[in-house]
């Protein structure tokens, strides 16, 4: 795109001036994404899509290792199917895209573009399951969903996004609950070990749970502006949908029973999360395990004899070791390239110049701290692998510190109101939705989760002063 | 699904009684696919989807190795965008699904669910490309598309299917043509080396080419009923779309030029192809490279000491060698399991019983020929790997023989009419669409391709007797 050979990094708005604009600048200028011709839709560009592929690969491996199989269910759902489960239709009908014509003919029944696929899975499960021997069925699909949104931002909230949706059915309530928690834990572990993002895990309140679920569990991430981002959810439906769709099986005693059902999902939203958790004023800082390029090699004074050959030799050494590596031998200045790859968030930069080569070494710069070291070319792959691990760990610790700095406890409404201006607030709650509503109305903050790790802050609800039931984490959210 | 412990294989209709019913029986009974609640749509079940994942993995590796990158473009396209290229809209408008409402509001402009994404890619390429330095752009996406079909059959023709669509832009006509052929050749090689299907490669006639393309190239497979199946196409658009969408770049001399564009695609149709090419009256016969399970281990007299342990030891040996293997220790009779796995098309069955074990060996049965051999357990992974290669080669040779048996040459209309009843007919053609139309009207056969490997059968067109321009391959097609 014929970039000017100077200071384009200055084009990124500093975070403390305008965090929302910083986010937009970063995702557009690093070629993660672009706006599509239809308002509210996005085009995920190769650099962004490669991150998604790496996320998919990591998650999919975990799903398969726990016995899940992928499948594909149709894009379009008959309106009558959506209407079978009362809460579900109420939750989703206002935000679906309706197909009314196929070819030149008006359809006898409207079809909706899937916003989620519980209803389709249920209609097929009702057909497929007969005996306890058929259970559990542990299915997942990777696809796109459409939810008509009025206010959108790429990755965070768009009218179409990519995701995975797991749908499982089980013989007993216990097994369904176990599955629900297994998949939430899978997301939690993945976020920590792959995205370097610490998550707050807990249960959603009745008000915030998924339409049609008996219980929804969530992982919530803290962004640098103190807002919370729901990053993955896992739902236990009990027999709600089974009753609406008549999904029954014959148990070991020959009795007909309803199946117990779960669903769980994560989406391209995770890309938004990792941008907003790790990025800095120079641009992206990618966690190494999902970085499309983990190390970029920059030949310095490339016209000098042996430099390009050495760069290529190093590339081969690292590629053989399974490191995603690239040589940038384009005809730009070294300074321009430093900026470019810093903006793109590549975890490690390797500078290869005549002076280094004479000493049998290279210069390494890690993206997170910009710390510079030198390292022998021999055995460089091991060094880089350790450095990538160190970047991962550093990012995680920094994100953990960020979360702690933006989390407070409140025993009064004044403290809560002050706290949610800059982060998450833990407070006691009586369990009454009126109090939850009052907090939202007063502060725009919502109950993000009833954390699994409960603390006893005081005896009474922060709103009404009645006896408290739970500690809840409140925050403004994307 | 509580299958009866006997003869369900008889439920498959023999091919020579009713090939269409045989196909339906096989794909439903082997759990590849099921009918969705919306007519014309399919649910791809885990066993079928796993084949698709393996196809994806093989193709995606080839795309990346030739410099292509994946991305994701939106599901919905504004009607005005479709209308920009005249031929394209004429070809696709009659078969699109229209979204008219988002949430509770009527849209100001109708949106179509993508039937293909040329128009979207063009709208973005127009924005992204400025200089010759930005070229080529070599993008691909994996997604689903919707084309409203009146008469459907799972995998072969459905109102929604999964596919990949590559879209590339280039500085010169030569580069675009080179890309068009490179990708056609990629499909051809993939079909041969992965699916074990020999393809006829050639160019489509003007009548049969893609709406908006300057030239369409195709690979065509021969099914066991003598019908042809278009299995992959690659299009050269020249500057057609570039002119309609104003996609221009500044060349090395500072002149503005239109880009040259290609697109190319394959789909879940390939699953239908491999079923209809390789299957037999017992069910599926899967080519080993896309078989979800390449070898199944059946413990015989599993209650006898050491049998299950030996089966597990063999499984571990094969899995370590990268073979997709599974032990079936379910409580069914050996005969039932033989039938089940034969129906499911698993390339190699390994029987492990006390007698074999005493001799340090196992019994191997290959699915394609049902040939039985014994082999020492030590070094079994190598034996299985060779056997899988041998099954692949055998399937390919059989498919090649099938194609030859169903291909004839015609120099008269009588010969052509007779030939297309049972297969493909090569005949000379003057290049006039009236003659092509006449053949279709008389026989329902269409021009599948102008094969790259031209033969000179005679001097004159098989229809009108005028001077012939090309040899064309005519056949009835799915």
Q: Which of A72, A83, A141, A148 to mutate to test the interface with B (most CBs of B within 10 A)?
A: A72
pLDDT digits 0-9 by tens, A32-87:
999 999 999 999 999 999 999 999 999 999 999 999 999 999 999 999 999 988 88
Q: Is the pLDDT of residue A451 over 70?
A: yes
Residue B333: name the closest of B373, B299, B360, B310 by CA: B299
Do residue B43 and residue A124 have CB atoms under 8 angstroms apart? yes
Binning pLDDT at 50, 70 and 90, where does residue B379 land?
very high
CA distance A25 to chain B (A): 16
Do residue B148 and residue A103 have CB atoms under 8 angstroms apart? yes
| Cα A100 to Cα A377: distance, rounded to the nearest angstrom | 63
| Cα B418 to Cα A50: distance, rounded to the nearest angstrom | 52
The three-class DSSP label of residue B260 is strand
| Cα B53 to Cα B55: distance, rounded to the nearest angstrom | 5
Dihedral over alpha carbons B430, B434, B440, B446 (to 10 degrees): 50
DSSP A185-231: HHHHHHHHHTS----EEEE--TTTS-TT-SEEEEEEEE-TTS-EEEE
- Which residue of chain A is at minimal alpha-carbon distance from B73? A43
Q: Return the percentage of chain B with pLDDT > 70, whole number.
A: 98
Q: Is the pLDDT of residue B286 over 70?
A: yes
Q: Each residue of B210-229: b (16+ CB within 10 Å) or e? A: bbbbbbbbbbbbbbbbbbbb
- Cα–Cα distances (Å) from A373 to A79, A282, A298, B49, in that order, read 61, 20, 15, 48
CA distance A245 to chain B (A): 13
pLDDT digits 0-9 by tens, B411-436:
999 999 999 999 999 999 999 999 99
| Mean predicted confidence (pLDDT) in B139-150 | 96
- Cα–Cα distances (Å) from B431 to B206, B408, B416, B435, B469, in that order, read 9, 20, 17, 8, 6
Binning pLDDT at 50, 70 and 90, where does residue A10 land?
low
| Cα B205 to Cα B451: distance, rounded to the nearest angstrom | 11
Do residue A102 and residue B53 have CB atoms under 8 angstroms apart? no
The beta-carbon neighbor of A2 closest among B46, B96, B133 is B133
CA atoms within 13 A on the CB side of B194: 22
Q: Which residues contact A433 (CB under 8 A, 6 or more apart)?
A: A205, A206, A207
Binning pLDDT at 50, 70 and 90, where does residue B1 land?
very low
Q: At what angle do helices A380-405 and A269-278 cross, to 10 degrees?
A: 90
CA distance A65 to chain B (A): 14
CA atoms within 13 A on the CB side of A366: 21
Q: Each residue of A290-305: b (16+ CB within 10 Å) or e? A: bbbbbbbbbbbebeee
Which residues from chain A sit within 8 angstroms of residue B99, using beta carbons?
97-100, 113
Binning pLDDT at 50, 70 and 90, where does residue B6 land?
very low
pLDDT digits 0-9 by tens, A92-116:
888 999 999 998 899 999 999 999 9
The beta-carbon neighbor of B98 closest among A50, A101, A139 is A101
Q: With a CB-CB cutoff of 8 Å, which residues 32-51 of chain A face chain B?
A: 34, 36-38, 41-46, 48-50
| Cα A427 to Cα A462: distance, rounded to the nearest angstrom | 6
Q: Please tell me the predicted confidence (pLDDT) of residue B3.
A: 43
Please, what is the average pLDDT of chain B? Answer: 95
Which residues from chain A sit within 8 angstroms of residue B42, using beta carbons?
74
Q: Please tell me the predicted confidence (pLDDT) of residue A5.
A: 44
DSSP B385-422: HHHHHHHHHHHHHHHHHHHHHTEEEESSHHHHHHHTTT
How large is the ipTM? 0.95
| Cα A67 to Cα A234: distance, rounded to the nearest angstrom | 17
Residue A63: name the closest of A144, A145, A164 by CA: A164
| Cα A431 to Cα A424: distance, rounded to the nearest angstrom | 19
Residue B3: name the closest of B333, B283, B284 by CA: B333
Among the ranges given (A331-340, A469-478, B68-77), the one the predictor scored with the smallest mean pLDDT: A331-340
User: What are the strands of the beta sheet with A97-102, ordered from one edge?
Assistant: A76-78, A105-113, A97-102, B97-102, B105-113, B76-78
Radius of gyration (Cα) for chain B, nearest Å? 25
Which residues from chain A sit within 8 angstroms of residue B37, using beta carbons?
74, 77-78, 81, 120, 123
Dihedral over alpha carbons B213, A50, A157, B164 (to 10 degrees): 30
Q: Which residues contact A213 (CB under 8 A, 6 or more apart)?
A: A235, A236, A237, A240
- Tokens describing residue B241: 């779309």
Do residue A96 and residue B103 have CB atoms under 8 angstroms apart? yes
The three-class DSSP label of residue A380 is helix
- Tokens describing residue B281: 């009256």
Q: Please tell me the predicted confidence (pLDDT) of residue B90.
A: 86
Residue A287: name the closest of A329, A330, A345 by CA: A345
Q: Is the pLDDT of residue A342 over 80?
A: yes
Radius of gyration (Cα) for chain A, nearest Å? 25
Q: Which residues contact B150 (CB under 8 A, 6 or more apart)?
A: none
Please, what is the average pLDDT of chain A? Answer: 95
Residue B44: strand pairing partners: A72, B33
Q: Are B161 and B266 in contact (CB under 8 A)?
A: no
Residue A125: name the closest of A175, A75, A63, A71 by CA: A71
Q: How do strand A137-146 and strand A69-70 relate by DSSP bridges?
A: parallel
Q: Please tell me the predicted confidence (pLDDT) of residue B93.
A: 86
Q: Please tell me the predicted confidence (pLDDT) of residue B295.
A: 98
Q: Please tell me the predicted confidence (pLDDT) of residue A424.
A: 98
Dihedral over alpha carbons B306, B312, B318, B324 (to 10 degrees): 140
Q: Is the pLDDT of residue A403 over 80?
A: yes
Which residues from chain A sit within 8 angstroms of residue B45, using beta carbons?
71
Binning pLDDT at 50, 70 and 90, where does residue B150 land?
confident
| Mean predicted confidence (pLDDT) in B133-154 | 96
Chain B interface includes A3 (CB < 8 A): no
Chain B interface includes A57 (CB < 8 A): no
Q: Is the pLDDT of residue A6 over 80?
A: no
Residue B259: name the closest of B240, B234, B237, B242 by CA: B242
Chain A interface includes B374 (CB < 8 A): no
| Cα B7 to Cα B303: distance, rounded to the nearest angstrom | 24
Do residue B72 and residue A162 have CB atoms under 8 angstroms apart? yes
Binning pLDDT at 50, 70 and 90, where does residue B10 land?
low
Does the CA dihedral A82-A85-A90-A95 come out positive or negative?
negative
DSSP B135-179: --EEEEEEEEEE---SS-BTTTB-SEEEEEEEEEEESSHHHHHHH
Q: Please tell me the predicted confidence (pLDDT) of residue A103.
A: 87
- Cα–Cα distances (Å) from B297 to B47, B302, B356, in that order, read 18, 12, 13
Chain A interface includes B113 (CB < 8 A): yes
Cis peptide before B136 (omega within 30 of 0): yes
Q: Are A38 and B74 in contact (CB under 8 A)?
A: yes
The beta-carbon neighbor of A99 closest among B2, B98, B134 is B98
Does the CA dihedral B53-B58-B59-B64 come out positive or negative?
positive
| Cα B232 to Cα B199: distance, rounded to the nearest angstrom | 10
Residue B214: name the closest of B189, B194, B191, B240 by CA: B240
Q: Is the pLDDT of residue B389 over 60?
A: yes
Q: Which of B37, B126, B248 to mutate to test the interface with A (most CBs of A within 10 A)?
A: B37
Q: Please tell me the predicted confidence (pLDDT) of residue A4.
A: 44
Q: Are B124 and B73 in contact (CB under 8 A)?
A: yes
Q: What is the reported pTM?
A: 0.96
Which residues from chain A sit within 8 angstroms of residue B113, using beta carbons?
75, 99, 113
The beta-carbon neighbor of B71 closest among A49, A70, A130 is A49
| Cα A51 to Cα B218: distance, rounded to the nearest angstrom | 33
Q: Are B12 and B281 in contact (CB under 8 A)?
A: yes
Which residues from chain B sit within 8 angstroms of residue A95, using beta carbons?
103
Chain B interface includes A139 (CB < 8 A): yes
Q: Are A200 and A449 in contact (CB under 8 A)?
A: yes
Dihedral over alpha carbons A165, A169, A170, A171 (to 10 degrees): 170
CA distance A129 to chain B (A): 7
| Cα A309 to Cα B86: distance, rounded to the nearest angstrom | 51
Q: Are B446 and B474 in contact (CB under 8 A)?
A: yes
Does the CA dihedral B26-B31-B37-B40 come out positive or negative?
negative
CA distance A173 to chain B (A): 21
Q: Please tell me the predicted confidence (pLDDT) of residue B4.
A: 44
Do residue A43 and residue B102 have CB atoms under 8 angstroms apart? no
- Which residue of chain A is at minimal alpha-carbon distance from B94? A103
Residue B407: strand pairing partners: B424
Number of A/B CB contacts below 8 angstroms equals 168
Chain B interface includes A1 (CB < 8 A): yes
- Tokens describing residue B215: 């030239």
CA atoms within 13 A on the CB side of B423: 17
Residue B201: strand pairing partners: B219
């Amino acid at each position: 795109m014929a970039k000017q050979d100077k200071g384009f990094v200055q084009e990124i708005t500093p975070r403390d001036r305008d965090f929302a604009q910083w986010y937009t600048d970063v995702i557009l200028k690093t070629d993660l994404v672009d706006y599509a011709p239809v308002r509210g839709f996005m085009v995920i560009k190769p650099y962004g899509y490669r991150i998604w592929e790496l996320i998919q690969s990591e998650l999919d491996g975990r799903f398969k290792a726990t016995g899940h199989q992928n499948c594909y269910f149709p894009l379009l759902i008959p309106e009558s199917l959506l209407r079978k489960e009362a809460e579900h239709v109420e939750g989703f009908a206002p935000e679906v895209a309706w197909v009314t014509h196929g070819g030149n003919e008006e359809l006898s029944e409207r079809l909706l573009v899937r916003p989620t696929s519980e209803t389709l899975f249920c209609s097929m499960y009702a057909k497929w399951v007969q005996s306890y021997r058929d259970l559990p069925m542990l299915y997942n699909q990777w696809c796109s969903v459409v939810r008509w949104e009025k206010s959108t931002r790429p990755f965070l909230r768009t009218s179409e996004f990519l995701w995975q949706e797991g749908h499982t059915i089980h013989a007993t309530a216990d097994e369904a609950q176990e599955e629900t928690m297994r998949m939430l834990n899978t997301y939690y572990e993945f976020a920590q070990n792959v995205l370097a993002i610490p998550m707050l895990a807990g249960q959603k309140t009745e008000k915030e749970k998924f339409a049609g679920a008996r219980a929804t569990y969530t992982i919530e991430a803290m962004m640098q502006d103190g807002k919370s981002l729901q990053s993955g959810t896992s739902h236990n439906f009990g027999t709600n949908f089974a009753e609406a769709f008549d999904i029954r099986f014959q148990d070991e005693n020959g009795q007909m029973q309803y199946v117990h059902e779960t669903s769980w999902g994560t989406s391209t939203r995770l890309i938004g999360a990792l941008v907003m958790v790790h990025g800095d004023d120079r641009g992206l800082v990618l966690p190494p395990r999902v970085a499309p390029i983990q190390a970029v090699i920059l030949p310095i004074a490339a016209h000098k004899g042996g430099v390009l050959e050495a760069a290529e030799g190093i590339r081969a050494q690292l590629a053989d070791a399974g490191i995603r590596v690239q040589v940038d031998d384009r005809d730009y200045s070294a300074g321009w390239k430093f900026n470019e790859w810093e903006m793109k968030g590549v975890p490690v930069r390797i500078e290869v110049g005549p002076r280094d080569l004479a000493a049998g070494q290279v210069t390494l710069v890690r993206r997170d701290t910009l710390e510079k070291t030198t390292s022998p070319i021999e055995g460089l792959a091991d060094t880089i692998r350790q450095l990538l691990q160190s970047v991962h760990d550093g990012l995680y610790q920094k994100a953990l510190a960020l979360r702690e700095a933006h989390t407070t406890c409140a025993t009064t409404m004044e403290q809560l109101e002050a706290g949610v201006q800059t982060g998450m607030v833990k407070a006691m709650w009586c369990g009454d939705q009126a109090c939850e509503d009052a907090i939202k109305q007063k502060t725009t903050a919502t109950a993000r989760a009833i954390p699994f790790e409960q603390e006893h802050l005081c005896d009474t609800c922060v709103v009404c002063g009645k006896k408290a039931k739970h500690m809840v984490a409140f925050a403004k959210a994307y």
